[in-house]
Structure formats: C-alpha cells, structure tokens
Structure 1
Amino acid sequence: MNAIDRRKNDLLAYNPQATIGADELDNYWENTLSGYAERPLAITRETVATPFPAIIAERLSYKGSDDTLIHGLYILPQQRIAGEKLPCVVIYQGYTGDKGLPERYASWLLLGYAVFAVDARGQSGETGNLLTSEEGQVKGWVTQGISHVEQSYYHAITMDAVRAVDVASLQPEVDASRIAVVGGSQGGGLALLAASLNSKVSAVVADIPNMCHMDYGILHSTGSLTEVAQYIKRYPERLNLVMTTLAYFDLLNLAERIKAPVLMSVGWKDTVCIPETVYAVFNRIRSHKQMNDFPFSGHEVSEYQNREAIIFIKEALNVSKL
C-alpha cells in the first residue's frame, strides 16, 4: 500500500464524536424551522440587463433570517418549452465572495437549468446585513453575535441559505422536486446546511466545504475560523459560549440529517478546509454519497471537479435533456 492509499484509509476511518447531543440539536432545529415557516419571504423579481440574448436574468430578492433582503441572480434559458418546469441549482458563494455576473453560470444554463445564485449577507455582493449584536466582533463577519446562538452570524446565514431553497421552489418556472444546492468553501458548507435542514433539496454538491468539524478547524484552519480563534484569544472566558454556538451549525452534528445524494470534494493540501474536517462530515452522511479526493490540490476547485459536479447533478435529478 502506498502513502496515498494509506492517507485515504486514515481519512475514511476518521470519526470524531459529535459536539452536541442529537436530541438537543433536533429540538433546537425543529423549533427554529417551525418558527420560520410562517415568516413571509417577501419575494421580488426585477429584470437585469445582460448582453446575452439566450438568457433571462433577474434580481430575485427575499427576506432571510431577519428583515435583511437577500439578493440573488435568478437566470433562465430564453428558449424553453412553454409551461415547462426546469430543474434548478441554488448556488452559494465562498467567504468574502459575491454572486457575480450571469455568465459565471453558463454551464448550468447550457444544460437547460434554472439558476438561483445567492449572495451571503454583508459580504462582497449587493446584500446588506441588518443583524444586530449585543457585543463587538473581530475582523470579518463570522464572530458577529457568536456568544449567542440566535444572534450569531452563523444562524443568520444558515437560515438565509435554507430560505433560498424555499424561494427557488416557489418560482413558477422551477420544478420544486428537482432542486440542487451547490457551492464551494463557505458555499459548500451552506449547501450541506441547506440540505440538512430543508427537505426540498434533491441533490448536493459541496466542494471543499467549510463549517465542518469546527472545533478542529478553530485549532488548525487558516481560513475564516481564524477570526473565531482571534475572538476567543481576546475573550477566553467566552470559549464555552462560542463552542456551544458553533455546535448548532457544525455539519459534523448535522450530517446525518441529510437525505439527498451528496458529492463532495477535498484538497489534501488545503489549509483552509482541512481534509480531516471534510472527511469528518462525509463519514457521517448516511445518504448516497461520493467523495472526490485531490491529493495535490489546496483550497481550489478544478475544471475537472466542475465537470464531475455537472455529471453528478444530471444523474441525481434524472435530467435527460441536453
């Protein structure tokens, strides 16, 4: 057995304990989701001009976890059968990123899918952040309200992501039984969170996902979790409060709730979303799953993996139209 095979076996055997009891976690999310069920989404659509006659692009907005209007790009192929319901991919962004321009999503549109690409609140896109906090934070976003579960940025972006699936399912052009969630890094974590908390998700692609095995990540990651580490460094007396908050959103604890088929990818040289954190979640998923390993890649998603994602989604959604 060579070193690569040994590393793969070690990762597949990695199985850290959950950081919160299953009953406590389930009760929290049952109450939280039921509390959001009747909150209005306040959906609006506004045409966006593009130089591409083959697509229709709109700015689709909705209310997320609070009164913040979450903005996204909703894109459709111009030519489609009248009344036809399309499969839809809901796409989440990486940390500090934004939804960008419609042409970023050309590959999905070429397949004849609807696309709903969503901003993360407060980050580089058009979406603001009305979340209020009782205390300060360190640079970035993720430590906002982190000592209080309900006031935390993680709570806000999780519910923003969950509600994005609801928004997609309500669009008249979308087949609500064929909705996939897709993203990389922060976006990959949000895709997995949405799948764990929203039964409307039919397939998941989570590349180099964040929000995985977060207690380990705080100790070792060079990514956004360094902000949490810096916060705890400043306020060591809040360590237990912070770890409690993170446990409710850590995919290590939520992975077994996922019912949809999942494709994940991991770079073994990734210091942001470390292989151990990604595999800790993958190993707990009970639905159909596939992991694509890239032993010589870091925090990146290759063209090869993008192609694999397209193939996976086509099969998972049973899409025969090309």
Structure 2
Amino acid sequence: MHAINRRKNDLLAYRPSVTMDVEELNQYWENVLNSYAERPLDVRRQTVETPITTVRTERLTFKGGDDTPIHGLYIVPQQGLNGAKLPCVVIYQGYTGDKGLPERYAAWLLLGYAVFAVDARGQGGETGNLLTSDEGFVKGWVSQGITNTERSYYQAITMDAVRAVDTAALQDEVDESRIAVVGASQGGGLSLLAAALNTKVSAVVADIPNMCHMDFGLMNSTSSLTEIAQYIKRYPERLNAVLSTLAHFDLLNLAERIKAPVLMSVGWKDTVCMPETIYAVYNRIRSLKQLNDYPFSGHEVSEYQNRESILFLQEALKNGLKPSIDAIEQQDQN
C-alpha cells in the first residue's frame, strides 16, 4: 500500500467523539428554530442593472438571525422569466468575502438554475451586523459573543444561512423541492449547517468546509479560528465557555441531522480547513455522500472540482427527491 492510500485509510477511520450531548444539542436547535418560525423574513426585491440581458438580477434583502437586513443577489435566467419553476442554488461566501457581481454565477445560470448569492454579515459585502455584544472581542468577527451561545456571531450567521433557504423557497420562480446550498470554506460550513437545520435543502456542495471539528481547528487552523485562539490567550479562564459555544455550531455534532445528498472536497495540504476536520464530519454524515480528495491541494477549489459540483447537482436535483431512508441504510451497510 502506497502512502496516499495509507493516508486515505487513516482519514476514513478518523472518528473523534462528539463534543456535546446530541439530545441536548437537538433540543437546543429545535428551540431556536421554533423561536424563528413566526418571525417575518420581510423580503424586499430591487432590480439591478447588469450587462447580461438574458437574466433578471435583483438585490434581494431579508431579515437574518437578529433582524439584520441580509443582502443577496437573486438572479433568474430566461427559463424562469418565461414562467418555469427552476432549481435554485443558494450560495454562501468564504470568510471576509462578498457576493460580488452577477457575472460570477454565469455557469449556474447557463445550466438553468436560479441563483441566490448571500452576503455574510459584517464581512466584505454590503451587509452590516446589528448583533450587539456586552463584552469585547478580538479583531475579525467570529469571537463576537463567543462565551454566550445565544448572542454569538456563530448563531447569528447560522440563522442567516437557514433563513436564506427559506427566502429562496418563497420566490415565485423557484421550485422549492429543488434547492441546493453551495459554498467553500466558511461558505461550505454554512452550507452544511443550513442542511442540518433546514429541511428544505435538497442537496449540498460543501468545498473545503469550515466549522468542522472545531476544537481541533482551534488548536491547528491558520485562519478564522486563530481569532478565537487569540481571545482565549487573552482570557484563558473562559476556555470552557468558548468550547461550549463552539460545540453548538460544530458540524461534528450536527452531521447526523443532514438528510440531503452531500458532495464535499478536501485538500490534504490545507492548513485552514485541515483534512482531519473535514473527514471527522464526513464520516458522521448518514445521507448519500461523496468526498473528493485532492492530496496535493491546499485551501482552494479547482476547476475540476467545480465541474464535479455541476455534475453532482445535475443528478441530485434532477427529480427534486431526497434519498430514501432505504437508500441511506443501504449505504451505511456498505
């Protein structure tokens, strides 16, 4: 057996313990989701002029996790303009990123999908952040409220992602039985979180996802979790409170809630979202799933993987059907 196969086998066998009682976690999220069930999304649409004349582009705004107006681009290709119900991809951004310009999503539009590309609150896009904090936090965003689960940035951005799916499902042009969530890095983590917490999700593409096995990432990652490590360095007595908050959003603990088919990718040289973190989550997902390994890639998504994502969603959204329980159980047996 050569070294690459040996590494693959080690990763497939990597199953760290959950970091929170699953029943307690499920009850927590049921309470949170119920508390938001009756809160209006207050969706607003405003036409945006673009050089692409075969699509309609709108700036679509909805109320996120704490009534922060979350801005997104909602783009409908020609088929939707003619009255057809379309599959929709809800796209989340990487850390510090933004939704950008409509041209970024040309491939999805050419495939006949509606696109809802959503900002991450407070980061590089147009969306602000109304979340308040009664204590300080270090530079960046993710350490805001990190010792208080209910008032943490992680809860706010998670509920933004969940409500983005609800918003997409309300649009006249969208077939609500065919909604996919797509993203890379932070966006990949948010895609998995949305699938774990919103039953409207029909398929997931989560490239090099963050928010996986977060206690491991806290010690080893070179990206956003370094902000929380810096916070704990300043306040070491708050370590347990921080770990408790992170556990509520760690996909290691939420993976088994995912019912939709999932495509993930991982770069084995990634120092941001390390293979151990991604495999720890992948190994716990019980729905139909696929993980593409890139042994010589870092924190990046290749054109090859983008093609794989297109092919995966074409199959997953073809009939608008989630995999049956029998299919999931058969996969587990294999």
Q: Shorter-chain TM-score: what band?
A: over 0.9
What amino acid maps onto 1:262 in structure 2?
Answer: V
State the match for 1:244 in structure 2: 244
Alignment deviations for residues 72-93 of structure 1 (CA, whole Å, 9 cap, x no partner) = 0000113447321000000000
State the match for 2:57 in structure 1: 57
Alignment deviations for residues 169-198 of structure 1 (CA, whole Å, 9 cap, x no partner) = 000000000000000000000000000000
Q: Which has the higher helix share?
A: 2
Alignment deviations for residues 22-59 of structure 1 (CA, whole Å, 9 cap, x no partner) = 11101100100000000010000000110111111000
How many residue pairs match? The answer is 320
Q: For 1:62, what is the secondary structure of its paired residue?
A: strand
What amino acid maps onto 1:268 in structure 2?
Answer: W
What amino acid maps onto 1:112 in structure 2?
Answer: G
State the match for 1:19 in structure 2: 19
Give the aligned CA root-mean-square deviation in angstroms: 1.0
Q: Report 1:1-322 matches (<5 A).
A: 1-80=1-80, 82-318=82-318
- Contact 1:53/1:78 (<8 A) preserved: no
Q: For 1:150, what is the secondary structure of its paired residue?
A: helix
Distance 1:257 1:297 in 2: 29
What amino acid maps onto 1:41 in structure 2?
Answer: L
- Contact 2:56/2:81 (<8 A) preserved: no
Q: For 2:149, what is the secondary structure of its paired residue?
A: coil
What amino acid maps onto 2:284 in structure 1?
Answer: R
Distance 1:298 1:148 in 2: 33
What amino acid maps onto 1:3 in structure 2?
Answer: A
Distance 2:28 2:72 in 1: 28
Distance 1:317 1:262 in 2: 12
Distance 1:194 1:314 in 2: 20
- Contact 1:54/1:79 (<8 A) preserved: no
- Contact 1:58/1:73 (<8 A) preserved: yes
Distance 1:211 1:79 in 2: 36
**CA 1:79–1:31 in structure 2 vs 1: closer, same or farther (change >3 Å)?**
closer
Distance 1:38 1:316 in 2: 30
Distance 1:79 1:88 in 2: 12
Distance 2:252 2:2 in 1: 29
Distance 2:318 2:291 in 1: 20
Distance 2:80 2:32 in 1: 38
State the match for 2:325 in structure 1: none
Distance 2:83 2:48 in 1: 22
- Which deviates more from structure 2 when the two are superposed, residues 87-96 or residues 73-82? 73-82
Distance 2:22 2:254 in 1: 9
What amino acid maps onto 1:170 in structure 2?
Answer: L
Distance 1:184 1:235 in 2: 31
- Contact 2:14/2:280 (<8 A) preserved: yes
What amino acid maps onto 2:311 in structure 1?
Answer: I
Distance 1:45 1:82 in 2: 19
- Contact 2:192/2:251 (<8 A) preserved: yes
What amino acid maps onto 2:104 in structure 1?
Answer: R
Distance 1:7 1:80 in 2: 46
What amino acid maps onto 2:260 in structure 1?
Answer: A
**CA 1:46–1:81 in structure 2 vs 1: closer, same or farther (change >3 Å)?**
closer
Alpha-carbon offset, residue 309 of structure 1: 0.2
Distance 1:52 1:31 in 2: 43
Alpha-carbon offset, residue 60 of structure 1: 0.4
What amino acid maps onto 1:186 in structure 2?
Answer: Q
What amino acid maps onto 2:184 in structure 1?
Answer: G
Q: For 1:194, what is the secondary structure of its paired residue?
A: helix
What amino acid maps onto 2:146 in structure 1?
Answer: I
Alignment deviations for residues 215-247 of structure 1 (CA, whole Å, 9 cap, x no partner) = 000000001000010000000010000000000
Alignment gaps of 5+ in structure 1:
none
Alignment gaps of 5+ in structure 2:
321-334
Alpha-carbon offset, residue 119 of structure 1: 0.1
- Contact 2:161/2:190 (<8 A) preserved: yes
